[in-house]
Amino acid sequence: MCGLVFERNPGDTWAFTIIGDRIPVAAMVVIVYFGVFRTHALIGSVLFVLLAAAFVVTTPNRWGVGIALHYVSRVLSGDVDDPTPSRRR
């Protein structure tokens, strides 16, 4: 066992989840609806479905990146009370 604490405080990864997941989804909706859908409804609908499928397929990877960024921020913060494994020198 490596001693890695997955989430030190529940809810710590919300900022990374919002940045990596919610903001891109909101941008997709805005671009498709206010850009393409207004001029070409069929193309906008197809594009929306394709982008939604891509977001569903890549969800585990995007959330994994969010968790990894959270871990990196914990390691780089230098908090002595944080139970992250020490780096080998």
CA distance 51 to 88: 42
What's the pLDDT tens digit per position in 56-85? 898 888 888 877 887 787 778 776 666 666
Statement: residue 88 has pLDDT above 60: no
Q: Which pTM was predicted?
A: 0.58
Q: For residue 32, give the DSSP letter.
A: I
The encoded tokens of residue 53 equal: 């499928």
CA distance 32 to 50: 11
CA distance 46 to 49: 5
CA distance 19 to 62: 10
Q: For residue 78, give the DSSP letter.
A: T
